[in-house]
Amino acid sequence: TAITLCKENNAELKLFGFNKWTWIPSKITEYFNFDTIQVATDSVQDWFSQKKRIDIQKHTVDDEHYSKEIHRMIALEYLPSQFGNNNL
């Protein structure tokens, strides 16, 4: 599992959802005995809608996969906003 892989390699597990269909339990750390799990407070879709005023569903290459520009913004802006600049 991802948790085992992270434990064996002393890595943190960072979870985030892309949209409203991605459900991550709010108390996920109660389900797992794992010290280095971090969960984003906002989904990618909500963050873009609230912070950037962008509907990312309008920025797909095939109605499912996001454009390179959206992926770049996820990497450079969304992830640091959720997990901090030094924790990626």
pLDDT in tens, 53-87: 999 999 999 988 999 999 999 999 999 999 987 65
**pLDDT at residue number 21:** 84
Neighbour-count burial for 46-78, b at 16+ CB within 10 Å, e otherwise = ebbeeeeebebeeeeeeeeebeeebeebbeeeb
pTM: 0.80
pLDDT in tens, 25-57: 777 767 766 667 788 989 999 999 999 999 999
19 and 78 Cβ atoms separated by less than 8 Å: no
